[in-house]
A = this chain, B = another copy of it.
Amino acid sequence: MMKKLSRLLLTSRNQISRNITNGKDGNLSNGLLLRTFTSHAGISTSGQNINVKGGIAGFSAPYIVYKGKAAFSVTPVLPTFTKLDSGLHVVDRGGCMMLKFTPAIGERKYDWEKRQLFALSPTEVGSLISLGSNDTCELFHDPSMLSSNAGQVRKSLTVKPHSTGGGYMISLTVVNNILKTKDYISVPFTTAEFAVVKAACSYALPHIMGWDRVTEKVEKVNSGRRTPDIKFDRGQLMDSEWDK
């Protein structure tokens, strides 16, 4: 069903594309309508490998930048927690910012089958948001690091300011020694688009670290009444500097 939706949206996308002949790629003139449609296209992307198990709760709203040669999207992925016997929840799988790079296969057409992923850890988000205006940063991943295929696939992400000033180029290189492939996908960002990526990553950082959960108030529910309550437990839990 999601796949069907994906096709449907790609179709309507193309129809829309034909109409916006007065909007150049990368400028800001397309406004709300283009954004709305790109959100749908973004959904179709992630829809292709959803493993539906009974039903999905949640919201999808990736920030997507469409450019001539490729599209880029970024969305936060929250950590998951495990509840210990003590009642304390600890991080099970860490959160990340999921970047997706999708090569173009024609005017405003993108080949979702060839998209490449790069998941930024909190520290890697720190690299991104602390990037000075003339700084370059490069991050390396080995997706099969702990398996027998370690070293077979190498991904590198480069964020580099345009030499002409104003904006950045974000590039992903994926070398796969098993499939004997090398992919290179590159997306130019305007200053404004990069500012959104930085601001959105800054906003998301505490969430992918799980600190939104750590700082939230505990609420008790008694017999239908829901009253905010104060975390006396939390204070007792933490080992005080003074207790040592």
Max chain B Cβ within 10 angstroms of own Cβ: one of A65, A98, A214: A214
Knowing A60-B89, A63-B122, A232-B80, say if A130 contacts B192 (CB, 8 Å): yes
Contact A75 B23 (CB under 8 A): no
Contact A52 B213 (CB under 8 A): no
Within 8 Å CB of A36, what residues of B? 91-94
Contact A89 B192 (CB under 8 A): no
Within 8 Å CB of A88, what residues of B? 43, 50, 56-60
Contact B195 A200 (CB under 8 A): no
- Whether A84 sits at the interface, judged by CB under 8 Å, is yes
- Whether A236 sits at the interface, judged by CB under 8 Å, is yes
Q: List 23 A-B contacts (CB under 8 A).
A: A16-B146, A23-B145, A29-B145, A32-B119, A32-B241, A36-B93, A39-B91, A53-B236, A56-B233, A57-B218, A58-B89, A58-B214, A60-B90, A61-B90, A76-B214, A78-B215, A123-B190, A129-B195, A130-B195, A144-B242, A196-B205, A212-B215, A219-B228
